Amino acid sequence: MSRTDTSVPRFLACISALIATTASSCNRQPAPTASAPASPVRTRTASERHPATTTAPSPTIVAVDGDRPHTVTIDLGSGVTLPLVLIPAGAFTMGDEGALPVHAVTISKPFYLGRYEVTREQWQAVLGDDPSDFVGEANLPVESVSWHDCQAFLQKLHQLAPLYEFALPTEAQWEHACRAGSPQQFDVELERRMPDSAWYEVNARGTTHPVGLKQPNAWGLYDMHGNVWEWCADFFGDYPADPCVDPSGPPSGEHRALRGGSWNFCATFCRAAARNCARPDERYNYIGLRVAAGTRK
Ligand SMILES: [Ca+2]
């Protein structure tokens, strides 16, 4: 598999990708990178975080639909659950005119993906703390979590539900799930549909919102567009030009990939193909996560 020029430093690659995905009507939001965060937010220390208030959960799988479940719901204890949707295998065209090169991708096997962004109460049920800047409803998406924080969450989640291997989705898995079978390359209708399908800078009123209030996509996933950016597993880097199967990004890098846009970004950043990135130790109140999972063999 060949790749485009990888001699560009990762930091510059990150910046250039953001410039490429920024429409002329939306060029006042700078990139959320180490040197230029996208909004006036801060990274909080552990001592500033909200104290733990939950006891140890007792998770079990509480709902399976059929022999090959379309959805599973994992019990995290204390009445908190984590619904997952089975995403089918399939081929799609990854990227668009703002995220080049457009290339053919095959996802070779089904996987599970969170129906919603991980919420404050789910994070607290698993790890016992609440790092979010925005407090209020328990089903607000968790934010102010680093990529490394997410690994700790996923590791603990696996201990609680050992039938599943939990991970962040790859960028390819995320975009496959976001497109939900749509062949459309550049979503020209996105601006029109955004108020119904996403919390973004036009309607979010400067804050996150409880998950699941907007219309889901064709595969039943909520808030794939907007609310909070979602960490992906991949190092951030240039796309391959050739067709590939189950791509997982470059082997190394300084930044990790982000997808989906957020409450403080405009519509073009919420495209299925739009890319962003941040250093894995950075925490911002517009970055959260969504869980991917496979069945353990
Ligand atoms: Ca989102």
Ligand 1 center–CA 228 separation, angstroms? 4
- Which pLDDT score is estimated for 194? 84
Parent domain of 260: 59-293
CATH number of the structural domain spanning residue 178: 3.90.1580.10
More confident residue, 200 or 59: 200
237 within 8 A of 172, measured Cβ to Cβ: no
More confident position, 60 or 180: 180
Q: Which whole number is the average pLDDT over 49-56?
A: 41
| Mean of the per-residue pLDDT values of the chain | 81
Please give the model's pTM, rounded to 2 decimal places: 0.81
pLDDT at residue 295, rounded to an integer: 72
**99-116 tens-digit pLDDT:** 999 999 999 999 999 999
Expressed in angstroms and rounded, the spacing between residue 9 Cα and the centre of ligand 1 is 27
Residue 30 lies in a domain: no
Query: So what's the pLDDT on residue 91?
Result: 95
Cα distances from 234 to residues 97, 99, 210, 220, 257, in angstroms, run: 21, 16, 27, 24, 6
Q: How open is the CA angle 16-21-25, to the nearest 5 degrees? A: 120
pLDDT tens per residue across span 142-158: 999 999 999 999 999 99
pLDDT tens digits, one per residue of 181-203: 887 655 667 777 888 889 999 99
Strand partners, 250: none
| Percent of the chain with pLDDT strictly greater than 90 | 68
232 within a domain of the structure (yes/no)? yes
Query: What sign has the CA pseudo-torsion 138, 139, 144, 148?
Result: positive
Question: Which residue type does 16 have?
Answer: S
Question: Ligand 1 centre and the CA of 187: distance in Å?
Answer: 17
Give the burial string for 22-41 (b: 16+ CB within 10 Å, else e): beeeeeebebbbeeebbbeb
User: What does the pLDDT read at residue 44?
Assistant: 41
Gap from CA of 231 to ligand 1 centroid (Å):
10
| DSSP letter, residue 12 | H
- For 214-234, the pLDDT digits (tens) are 999 999 999 999 999 999 999
How many separate domains does the chain show?
A: 1
Q: How far is the CA of 273 from the centre of ligand 1 (A)?
A: 13
Rounded distance from Cα 229 to ligand 1 centre (Å): 5
**pLDDT reported for residue 68:** 53
Which residues, chain by chain, have CB under 5 Å from ion ligand 1? 223, 227, 260
- C-alpha 206 to ligand 1 mean position (Å): 15
Judge whether 245 lies within some domain: yes
**Ligand 1 centroid distance, CA of 227 (Å):** 5
Is residue 50 included in any domain, yes or no?
Answer: no
In a domain, 37, yes or no: no
Whole-angstrom distance, CA of residue 131 vs CA of residue 53: 12
* Residue 36 in this model has a pLDDT that exceeds 80: no
Domain membership of residue 191 (yes or no) is yes
How far apart CA 82 and CA 73 sit, in angstroms, is: 5
248 inside domain: yes
Q: Give the model's pLDDT for residue 191.
A: 73
